[in-house]
Structure 1
Amino acid sequence: MNAPPDIDPVIEPSASEVLHWLTNDARDERFIDNIFAELCVRLQRAGIPVKRATLHVVVNHPQWLGAKITWENGMRAAVIERVDYDVRERSQYIDSPAYEIHGGATEVRENLERDSSDGRKHAVYDEMRAKGLTDYVAWPLYHTLGKRHIVTFATDRPGGFEDAHIAGLLKLLPVLALVSEIRIKNRLARTLLETYVGSHAGELILAGATRRGSGTTVRAAIMICDLRDFTAISDNWPRDDVIDLLNSYFDAMSEPIARHGGEILKFVGDGLLAIFPLSQQSACANLLRAVSEARQAMAALNEKNSESGRAPLNYGTGVHVGDVMYGNIGSRTRLDFTVIGPAVNMASRLETLTKQLGRPVLVSRAFADVVEGEFDLERMGEYPVRGFNEPVELFAYHG
């Protein structure tokens, strides 16, 4: 049987081998950047002279729109660059092949050997010419629900890609679209879980901890933080200002918690619940370090707010240590992955007592015993705690 017109019979079987690998043997690789790098190496072995390739994907992470995955000749692994949400307002995007693809183009091809004055003026073309590349092609990568991502290939072969090379690459696109969509959706699922329930809880849910009542007992340091006078603020401030204030407050409190190994399990209105599992070394000390850094961040935020005439934000934090039940709780159809137990209740009661005692951070005797000698704690005395039979000895931490 004769080969199809313009298709090199040597190239076509090799491209088929790459297609077989992508379809059957890449299933055990979780990450699309690793698959993409391996794909490019296999394309070279198949006789398709790819020297540079990029994959542009949209994942809608809370902090960034997507990612650009770049592979170049000789690289063992691809490089991932995060793409900010405002990228589509920037000149480098508007003046790019990606802009053409997102605008509806089904292919963008550029002969890089000809003088730049004869072709499109995209700056990326001059960058590729400077690297000795001779031909460039970009295609949309179609996912379900009309979503478009982008894949590009470039070569340094004199004369550029042959028709057979282009045909071999085109043959791969539908399978690459399926493979990349699966990995991107896996990443999106992980991102959503990390965003809404935290990284550790997200891992447990992805591993199958989805049944109501499933969970484990964890010994942890617990902190509960609450903003003061939020009702008055929300009643009197414009809505957008209230949202901006809350986001700034949560940034100030949350980033130190994450930095020191804590996990925020939930935000409730203007409050947050976080744990530091004692399986981590120095968990209790790390909690107080996070509290100190959060206090500094809040001081900086209050200084910034005062410049715009806003009143300073006050807050209270209750800290305790003990056993908590960590798992799925809720109705049959709506679950919450959280912690419950007397230790959580104690932290909540201590947060409430910060108002009465006029100290922003109160810790229990049980917690103070763990960090004794490491931090300066002010003994406040014993106080009755609602829901508990015996008075609790409390200490203030000034950070």
Structure 2
Amino acid sequence: MNIAELQKLTDWLIDGGRSTTSPTRFMAECCERMVAAGLPLWRVGVFVRTLHPEIYGRNFIWKPGAEVELGTVDYHILESPDFHNSPLKIVFQQGLEVRVRVDDPQNMRFPIVNDLRAEGVTDYVALPLPFIGGTVNASSWTTKQPGGFTDEQLAALRSLAKPLARVIEIISLTRTAASLLDTYVGNRAGERIMGGQIRRGHTETMNAAIWLSDLRGFTALSDRLPAETVVDILNQYFDCQVTAIKNHGGEVLKYMGDGLLAVFPIDEYVGDEQQVCSRVLEAAQESRASVASLNYPIGDAVERFRFGVALHVGRILYGNIGGGNRLDFTCIGPAVNLAARLEKIASQLKRTVVASEGFAGVCRGGWADLGEFPVAGFSKAARVYGLADETSAA
């Protein structure tokens, strides 16, 4: 063991491992420094829980001479036999260290022993990584050294786990903040907020295609069904749109009851307005098909659903709006107002997809001119277009 190198490593961790630029690079450099200090590591794993609606945790796996593997697990891991029979379950739930010597018969209760033996591993130790907030995450350390880890090497791993946990906690908190912002306000808005746009008045103008939709008959639906059922229906209904919106370059900004507001940014300098609007139309057609196939069993009946979406293109004001220290990152402007009015017209016409003259003019083909309609709050009537393949339905 090289005590001087271990001290340098400890100092590097206390300093935040600032010579690295990413979590995977931090993991790689940390393990490489440990090996250089005399720790005979073969495989190292760091397992961190996260605050995410779909992802239970992330894992980082290092092996000498290989790229760090980054993986995720969903909440089903808690029900899997692999987790229940793993030393990591003890670490996560009890915060205890677990050592598994491959040649110790008592450790045969862990199925992982057979995998370790096949890999040539002689010793495995799982160490808790306690965070200041009280949660406990986990790390695993293996070696192929004959006889396993020595007492001195184990002591070194235990002493390094504490500063390592601090750095991982900082990285984890930063990622969690970004993930929560992404979950609740969207990726682009989250990036801006994390970048410092947190004051009222921090806004910018942006050219974008605008998507505004709602579920037909939602008021009557919510009046006759239990609230839990309505929430479940809404979640499935929004799933029909969000996947298509994200896959085609859009970002959901807001849910308003059964309403959904999304934007598809247009780069004016690249001149991709036509491409963006084409992708928006594709997303609308996919959502129309998904909602049409959505059915929900309620008692002996099956509920079917219809929705409407208005598409427009124009300039919007995008940023922080609100009062005091309670802000909302959203978009406003005449273009958004017109999209909202068009969505109401779509409902009146019993249309699924309608578009403004501006949107239909950019994304040509497949439209039927539905005529001009007075628009509340606007001095001029708006010409409205519907998809030609909905003519018979109208």
TM-score range, shorter chain: over 0.9
Query: What is the one-letter code of the residue matched to 2:31?
Result: C
1:83 paired residue number? 73
Mapped partners of 1:148, 1:25: distance in 2: 20
Distance 1:306 1:234 in 2: 13
In the TM superposition, what whole-angstrom CA distance separates every residue of 1:88-132 from its partner, at most 9, and x where no partner exists?
Answer: 2221111010111133252101111x16x4424211121111100
Confirm or deny that 1:394 pairs with 2:384.
yes
Match of 2:123 in 1: 135
Query: In structure 2, the residue corresponding to 1:321 is in which secondary structure?
Result: strand
- Deviation sequence 1:76-95 (CA, Å, 0-9, x none): 3x212211113222211110
Please say if residues 380 and 396 of structure 1, whose CA atoms lie closer than 8 Å, have aligned partners that are also in contact.
Answer: yes
In structure 2, the residue matched to 1:3 is: none
1:46 aligned to which of 37, 45, 66: 37
Quick one: which of 154, 177, 189 aligns to 2:165? 177
Aligned-residue offset at 1:308: 6.8
SS at match of 1:65: strand
Aligned to 2:58, which of 44, 47, 67? 67
8 Å contact kept, 1:30–1:183? no
Conservation of the 8 A alpha-carbon contact between 2:107 and 2:113: no
What are the Cα deviations for residues 149-188 of structure 1, in whole angstroms up to 9, with x where unaligned?
Answer: 0011000011111122112211211111110010000000
Q: Spell out, residue by residue over 1:51-74, the C-alpha distance to the aligned partner (whole angstroms, 9 max, x if none).
A: 101111111211111112211222
1:21 aligned to which of 5, 9, 12: 12
Letter of the aligned partner of 2:205 in structure 1? Answer: T
Are 1:346 and 2:335 counterparts? no
Aligned to 2:288: 295
**Runs of 5+ unmatched residues, structure 2:** none
Partner of 2:323: 331
Shift of 1:30: 5.2
Aligned-residue offset at 1:310: 2.6
Equivalent residues in 2 for 1:206-225, closer than 5 Å: 206-225=194-213
Partner residue of 1:383? 373
- Residue 20 of structure 1 aligns to which amino acid in structure 2? D
Amino acid at match of 1:67: R
TM-score normalised according to structure 1 size: 0.92
The aligned amino acid for 1:72 is: K
Query: Aligned pair in 2 of structure 1 residues 93, 308: CA closer, same or farther (>3 Å)?
Result: farther
Counterpart amino acid of 2:35?
Q
> Is residue 285 of structure 1 aligned with residue 278 of structure 2?
yes
Distance across 2 between alignment mates of 1:235 and 1:93:
43
**SS of alignment partner, residue 302 of structure 2:** coil
Aligned to 1:5: none
State the TM-score, normalizing by the size of structure 2. Answer: 0.93
Alignment-derived partner of residue 351 in structure 2 = 359
**Does 1:236 pair with 2:224?**
yes
Separation in 1 of the partners of 2:46 and 2:143?
16
Amino acid of the residue matched to residue 45 of structure 1? A
Mapped partners of 1:253, 1:25: distance in 2? 41
State the secondary structure of the residue aligned to 2:355.
Answer: strand
Quote the residue 2:97 is aligned against. 107
Instruction: Give the aligned residue type for 2:373.
Output: Y
State how far apart, in whole Å, the 1-side matches of 2:266 and 2:2 are: 58
Q: Within 2, Cα distance between the matches of 1:48 and 1:97?
A: 21
- The structural deviation recorded for 1:340 is 0.3
The one-letter amino acid of 1:331's match is G
The farther-off stretch of 378-387 and 22-31 is 22-31
Equivalent pairs counted in the alignment come to 384
Whole-Å Cα distance in 1 between the matches of residues 88 and 318 of structure 2?
45
- Return closer, same or farther for 1:243/1:38 CA change in 2, 3 Å cut-off: same
Q: Is the 8 A contact 1:71 1:79 kept in 2?
A: yes
Alignment correspondent of 1:97: 87
Structure 1 residues 25, 229: CA separation in 2 closer, same or farther (over 3 Å shift)?
Answer: closer
Tell me the amino acid that sits aligned with residue 207 of structure 2.
R
Q: Do 1:319 and 1:367's aligned partners in 2 also have CA atoms closer than 8 Å?
A: yes
**C-alpha displacement of 1:354:** 0.8
After superposing the two structures, state which structure 1 stretch, 33-42 or 334-343, moved more: 33-42
**Cα shift at 1:12:** 2.1
Aligned to 1:73, what secondary structure does the other structure show?
coil
- What letter matches 2:34 in structure 1? L
Residues 31 and 183, structure 1, Cα contact 8 Å, conserved in 2: no
Q: CA RMSD in A?
A: 1.8
| 1:307 CA drift (Å) | 11
1:281-336 per-position Cα deviation (integer Å, ceiling 9, x unaligned):
3111111011011112112223x659972321111111111110001000111100
Alignment correspondent of 1:146: 134
Question: How big is the shift at 1:380?
Answer: 0.5
Aligned residue identity for 1:287:
V
Query: What is the correspondence of 1:309-320 to structure 2 with a 5 Å cutoff?
Result: 309-320=301-312
Contact 1:138/1:152, CA 8 A, preserved across alignment: yes
